Amino acid sequence: MTQQPLENVRIGAFDLMPSPEEIHARVPLSEKASDSVFAGREAIKAILDRKDHRIFIVVGPCSIHDPVAGYDYAQRLKKLADEVGDTLVLVMRVYFEKPRTVTGWKGYINDPYMDDSFHIEEGMEKARAFLLKVTELGLPTATEALDPIAPQYLGDLIAWTAIGARTSESQTHREMSSGLSTPVGFKNATDGDITPAINAIQSASAPHSFLGINMQGRSAIVRTQGNPYGHVVLRGGDGRSNFDTVSVCMVERALAKSGIRQNIVIDCSHANSLKDPALQPLVLSDCAHQIREGNHSIVGMMLESNIEAGNQPIPADRSRLKYGQSVTDACIDWATTEAVIRKTHSVLKDILPNRNT
């Protein structure tokens, strides 16, 4: 009797992926980038520890698809960051991976040419090269950790990590977060429930052992020490916002009940803006008002911003892509970004120095 195939019956191919060590060798970390990443992480940790009175704002495109436009944005953001740095720590949102409920473009790492060719080996190297250029400007970067292997390739260039609403409940992502070198923000669930994020913070703060890869790309048992810098990110859910004072107060109580420090980041996009980017500045303004009125738990905000407002479908002819406009979620434009951040700086600059006393 002929034995039937039992393994890999639905696998088309196994294409070799360069190891993290190989990608690091091709795009090595520079001293300037290293200093930038370290400074960004230390600033965010000091804010979470209440040793730094400033607020951090994660701001940038919904996703990176054009590294030229992305770097143009980064240069603009660096100038603004220097201008408001006494009050606000600006961290560039550099998202390469996009979670998909059904189908759609999965991001620059997965499909860098946006043509379903899925040259992941090229996407990973290009993503690292982009991060290197941004951090060499002296600008800290933030990303969403979706693939648990990707941090081995890119983690040394990241200052802050988000775990998305769909993955905060994932054991894999909680374990991964326990070993990340960055502070980690866990988003509430897509229905608005805060419990998964609280559970994730508690889980990630503990040591874990799980299967992963080492720098040589070999399978390894990863043993982590636990991450003490987990915090919650409020992004609303089920068409309802949760950035208002009552919602924030309820989250503060839930965190206190769980013995977790009351550090809250408000995502001004997604359900908090009812998926209307034009409402993001109003959410940010409301958060600044809460801080002026005595709130002590809001330590950061998030904005989806690009050079041009709105978003665009990916055309068959890539040369027809509009420069500096998102191909995923719609964003506010650069002029609006500058205005709202300068306004936030003006509103908070005299309040924050005395906030933690």
Residue 5 lies in a domain: no
pLDDT of residue 101: 66
The candidate with the shortest Cα–Cα distance to 32, out of 134, 153, 125, 158, is: 134
| Within a domain: 13 | no
Query: 29 lies in a domain?
Result: yes
Tell me how many domains the chain contains: 1
In a domain, 192, yes or no: yes
Distances (CA, A) of 85 to 38, 80, 170, 239, 280: 16, 8, 35, 34, 21
Residues in CB range of 165: below 8 A, 6 or more apart: 187, 188, 189, 190, 235, 237, 270
3-state secondary structure of 91: strand
CATH code of the domain covering residue 128: 3.20.20.70
Question: Would residue 39 count as lying in a domain?
Answer: yes
Whether 8 maps to a domain, the answer reads no
Dist. CA 317–CA 321, nearest whole Å: 8
* Confidence label for 114 from pLDDT (cuts 50, 70 and 90): very high
SS3 320: helix
Strand residue runs (E) in 47-173: 55-60, 88-93, 141-144, 160-163
**pLDDT at 34 exceeding the cut of 80:** yes
Q: Tell me what pLDDT residue 347 has.
A: 98
Structure tokens, 231: 């915090």
Question: Is 254 inside a domain boundary?
Answer: yes
Residue 202 lies in a domain: yes
Position 99 scores a pLDDT of 79
Q: With pLDDT > 90 as the criterion, what percentage of the chain qualifies?
A: 95
Alpha-carbon gap, residue 74 to 71, rounded angstroms: 5
Confidence (pTM)? 0.97
Average pLDDT over residues 63-74: 98
Q: pLDDT, tens digit, for every residue of 260-298?
A: 999 999 999 999 999 999 999 999 999 999 999 999 999
Q: What does the pLDDT read at residue 357?
A: 65
CA distances from residue 165 to 104, 200, 240, 254, 343 in whole angstroms, order as listed: 18, 11, 14, 18, 29
Provide the domain limits for residue 137.
20-304+335-354
* pLDDT tops 90 at residue 201: yes
